Amino acid sequence: MRELVRAYLTISKDLTRVMNRVKAIYRSIPCGGQRVYHPRHRQESLSKITHPSVRRRAEFYYRQLDVLWRKQARQELLAESKVQV
Protein backbone atom coordinates (compact mmCIF):
# COMPACT_ATOMS: atom_id res chain seq x y z
CA MET A 1 0.00 0.00 0.00
CA ARG A 2 2.79 2.40 0.91
CA GLU A 3 4.49 1.86 -2.45
CA LEU A 4 1.26 2.55 -4.32
CA VAL A 5 0.88 5.83 -2.44
CA ARG A 6 4.46 6.79 -3.30
CA ALA A 7 3.90 5.90 -6.94
CA TYR A 8 0.70 7.95 -7.07
CA LEU A 9 2.35 10.97 -5.48
CA THR A 10 5.34 10.75 -7.81
CA ILE A 11 3.12 10.47 -10.87
CA SER A 12 1.08 13.45 -9.66
CA LYS A 13 4.21 15.58 -9.27
CA ASP A 14 5.54 14.54 -12.67
CA LEU A 15 2.20 15.33 -14.27
CA THR A 16 2.19 18.79 -12.71
CA ARG A 17 5.69 19.46 -14.03
CA VAL A 18 4.78 18.46 -17.57
CA MET A 19 1.57 20.49 -17.46
CA ASN A 20 3.59 23.53 -16.35
CA ARG A 21 5.97 22.99 -19.27
CA VAL A 22 3.08 22.84 -21.72
CA LYS A 23 1.54 25.97 -20.26
CA ALA A 24 4.90 27.77 -20.47
CA ILE A 25 4.99 27.16 -24.21
CA TYR A 26 1.59 28.82 -24.61
CA ARG A 27 2.32 31.86 -22.42
CA SER A 28 3.08 34.02 -25.45
CA ILE A 29 0.00 32.71 -27.28
CA PRO A 30 -3.52 33.57 -26.14
CA CYS A 31 -5.06 30.45 -24.66
CA GLY A 32 -7.13 29.87 -21.62
CA GLY A 33 -7.58 27.44 -18.80
CA GLN A 34 -7.25 23.69 -19.04
CA ARG A 35 -8.13 23.54 -22.73
CA VAL A 36 -4.51 23.19 -23.89
CA TYR A 37 -4.17 19.91 -22.01
CA HIS A 38 -7.26 18.15 -23.37
CA PRO A 39 -6.58 15.74 -26.26
CA ARG A 40 -9.61 17.00 -28.17
CA HIS A 41 -8.16 20.53 -28.40
CA ARG A 42 -4.50 19.68 -28.97
CA GLN A 43 -4.45 20.18 -32.73
CA GLU A 44 -6.11 23.55 -32.33
CA SER A 45 -3.57 24.53 -29.67
CA LEU A 46 -0.61 23.21 -31.65
CA SER A 47 -1.72 25.13 -34.74
CA LYS A 48 -1.19 28.38 -32.81
CA ILE A 49 2.52 27.62 -32.43
CA THR A 50 4.36 29.01 -35.44
CA HIS A 51 7.90 27.85 -34.72
CA PRO A 52 8.40 24.19 -35.78
CA SER A 53 10.86 23.24 -33.04
CA VAL A 54 8.63 24.68 -30.33
CA ARG A 55 5.66 22.81 -31.80
CA ARG A 56 7.71 19.60 -31.76
CA ARG A 57 8.62 20.17 -28.10
CA ALA A 58 4.93 20.66 -27.27
CA GLU A 59 4.15 17.37 -29.03
CA PHE A 60 6.73 15.60 -26.84
CA TYR A 61 5.15 17.08 -23.73
CA TYR A 62 1.72 15.95 -24.88
CA ARG A 63 3.03 12.41 -25.25
CA GLN A 64 4.36 12.61 -21.71
CA LEU A 65 0.95 13.77 -20.49
CA ASP A 66 -0.71 10.81 -22.16
CA VAL A 67 1.60 8.42 -20.35
CA LEU A 68 1.40 10.15 -16.99
CA TRP A 69 -2.35 10.45 -16.55
CA ARG A 70 -2.78 9.27 -13.01
CA LYS A 71 -6.18 7.64 -13.42
CA GLN A 72 -4.83 4.09 -13.50
CA ALA A 73 -2.50 4.69 -10.53
CA ARG A 74 -5.39 6.14 -8.55
CA GLN A 75 -7.63 3.19 -9.39
CA GLU A 76 -4.98 0.74 -8.26
CA LEU A 77 -4.42 2.68 -5.06
CA LEU A 78 -8.14 2.67 -4.26
CA ALA A 79 -8.47 -1.03 -5.07
CA GLU A 80 -5.54 -1.86 -2.79
CA SER A 81 -6.93 0.27 0.03
CA LYS A 82 -10.21 -1.68 -0.10
CA VAL A 83 -8.24 -4.94 0.22
CA GLN A 84 -6.29 -3.57 3.20
CA VAL A 85 -9.42 -2.54 5.13
Q: How many domains does the chain have?
A: 1
Give DSSP secondary structure letters for 12-56: HHHHHHHHHHHHHHGGGS---TTGGGSGGGHHHHHHT--SHHHHH
The reply to whether the predicted model has a pTM over 0.75 is: no
Which residue range is the domain that position 60 belongs to? Answer: 2-84
Q: What is the pLDDT along the chain (85 residues), one digit of tens a residue?
A: 788 788 878 888 988 999 999 999 988 777 767 888 888 888 988 999 999 999 999 999 999 888 877 667 777 777 777 766 5
